[in-house]
Amino acid sequence: MTTGTDIPLIRLERVSRILPGIVPAVLVRDIDLIISAGEFIAITGPSGSGKSSLLYLLGLLDRPSAGRLLFDGHDTAFLADDSLARLRLERIGFVFQFHFLLEEFTVLDNVLIPMRRLGRLDSTAQRRFAMQVLDELDIADQAAKRPDQLSGGQRQRVAVARALANDPPIILADEPTGNLDSVNAERVFAIFSRLVRDRGKTVVTVTHDSALAATAARQVRTLDGHIVGEAEFPA
74-88 per-position pLDDT tens digit: 999 889 999 999 999
Would the pLDDT of 122 be above 70?
Answer: yes
Q: What is the mean pLDDT of residues 3-24?
A: 81
Domains of the chain, with CATH numbers?
Answer: 10-232 (3.40.50.300)
The CA distance from 152 to 149, in Å, is 10
pLDDT at position 234 over 70: no
Strand-pairing partners, residue 232, are: 218
What was the pLDDT predicted at 188? Answer: 87
More reliable by pLDDT, 223 or 6 = 223
Mean pLDDT (whole number) for 178-189? 85
Q: Is the pLDDT of residue 56 over 80?
A: yes
Q: Specify the pLDDT at position 2.
A: 40
- Separation of alpha carbons 9 and 98, rounded Å: 27
Residue 105 pLDDT class (50, 70, 90 cuts) = very high
Quick one: pLDDT band at residue 235, thresholds 50, 70, 90?
A: low
pLDDT at 179 over 90: no
Is residue 3 pLDDT above 80, yes or no? no
The whole-number pLDDT of residue 1 equals: 38
Least confident of 2-11, 151-160, 169-178: 2-11
Q: What pLDDT is attached to residue 97?
A: 75
CB 28 within 8 A of CB 57: yes
228 vs 49, 52, 199, 223, CA distance in Å?
10, 15, 30, 6
Ramachandran region of residue 8, left (φ > 0), alpha (ψ -120 to 50) or beta? beta
Per-residue pLDDT at 4 exceeds 60: no
Burial of 157 (0-12, 13-18, 19+ CB in 10 A): buried
Reported as type and span, the H/E element at residue 203 is strand 202-206
Contact present, 15 and 7 (Cβ < 8 Å): no
Band of pLDDT at residue 229, cut at 50, 70 and 90: confident
- Alpha-carbon distance 158 to 150, whole Å? 10
Continuous H helices in the chain: 51-58, 81-91, 107-118, 123-136, 152-163, 182-199, 210-213
pLDDT grade for 5, boundaries at 50, 70 and 90: low
For 171-180, what is the mean pLDDT?
Answer: 87
- The confidence score (pLDDT) of residue 221 equals 92
Comparing 85-99, 151-165, 191-205, 221-235, the range with the smallest average pLDDT is 221-235
Cβ neighbours of residue 105 closer than 8 Å, sequence gap 6 or more: 113, 146, 147
**What is the β-pairing status of strands 66-71 and 74-75?**
antiparallel
- The answer to whether the CB of 96 falls within 8 A of the CB of 159 is yes
For residue 55, pLDDT beyond 90: yes
pTM of the predicted model, to two decimals?
Answer: 0.90
